[in-house]
Amino acid sequence: MNNRPNQEPEKSYALYRHQETVKLFESKSDPEIWSAFNQGDEMAFNYLFRIYTPLLFRYGCQFRVEEALVEDSIQNLFIYLRKKRGDLSQVSSIKAYLFKSLQRELFKHLKSDKNRVAIEEDDPLINFQLELSAESSIIENELNQEIQEKLKHSIESLTSRQRQAILLFYEEGMSYKDIAEVMDFNEVKSARKLIYRAIATLKACMDQQGKK
């Protein structure tokens, strides 16, 4: 006789709770959600964890590090945030704040890795890649396969900082202000200028490929 409890009701209830949590917070602004979390609202914490963990993982893997390190860094980040509830400053963009925090956590590990070469310790972004999804706004559906391949090849000509800015702008849909926060720019115009230069480089590279 099978005496194991039926797990399906538990899964269904968990899914229901998740859907209810998303429904409760999806219409709220980032400052409202963050304030609720900072004041100890457990549902707000669960919302942040469930919504942003997949996005953080995708972003963290762009640094060409082991997936396990990204997962550990995300876990450490949320443990820290939970511990500091009540003492956290207000944020205007949760996504930008979490991306910057994860980036800082990863850099800490990368710089402490004795096996990394000196240039990588000075510039943790040296290996930042740029893998765009098919849904990315920079890759329009009507572009044929040949042009998409040229675009992906042209991306390799960008600097690490340019690749990061392009990813945050086109893949993550961040504003110039949010990108400036993630990339530690003092002025928003610095983020805008970096993206403009990256786009110009991409266009020039694609034009060059077209002449071959």
pLDDT tens per residue, range 131-151? 655 445 454 544 556 666 777
3-state DSSP assignment of residue 43: helix
- Percentage of the chain lying above the pLDDT 90 cut: 46
pLDDT tens per residue, range 66-113? 899 999 999 999 999 999 999 999 999 999 999 999 999 988 887 776
Rg, Å, the chain Cα set: 20
> Which value, to the nearest 10 degrees, does the dihedral of the CA atoms of residues 98, 101, 107, 112 take?
-130
Amino acid at 105: E
pLDDT tens per residue, range 1-48? 455 555 555 555 454 455 666 777 888 999 999 999 999 999 899 999
CATH of residue 192's domain is 1.10.10.10
Amino acid at 17: R
The answer to whether 126 and 209 have CB atoms below 8 angstroms apart is no
> Are residues 44 and 123 located together in one domain of the fold?
yes
Range of the domain at 140: 131-212
d(CA 165, CA 191) in angstroms, rounded, equals: 7
Last residue of a domain, one of 70, 104, 127: 127
What one-character-per-residue DSSP string does 114-145 give?
TTS-HHHHH-GGGG------TT-TTS-TTS-H
**Sign for the pseudo-dihedral over CA of 136, 196, 99, 86:** negative
Lowest mean pLDDT among 39-53, 61-75, 153-167, 187-201: 153-167
pLDDT bracket for residue 123 (50, 70, 90): low
CA–CA distances in Å: residue 33 to residues 43, 69, 175: 10, 28, 19
More confident of the two residues 120 and 176: 176
The answer to whether 184 and 104 have CB atoms below 8 angstroms apart is no
> Are residues 112 and 143 located together in one domain of the fold?
no
Q: What is the pLDDT of residue 18?
A: 59
d(CA 73, CA 37) in angstroms, rounded, equals: 20
> Are residues 121 and 109 located together in one domain of the fold?
yes
CA–CA distances in Å: residue 165 to residues 113, 124, 184: 25, 15, 12
The answer on pLDDT for 152 being more than 80 is: no
CATH of residue 70's domain is 1.10.1740
> Are residues 17 and 117 located together in one domain of the fold?
yes
Mean pLDDT of the chain: 80
> Are residues 108 and 63 located together in one domain of the fold?
yes
Q: What is the pLDDT of residue 146?
A: 65
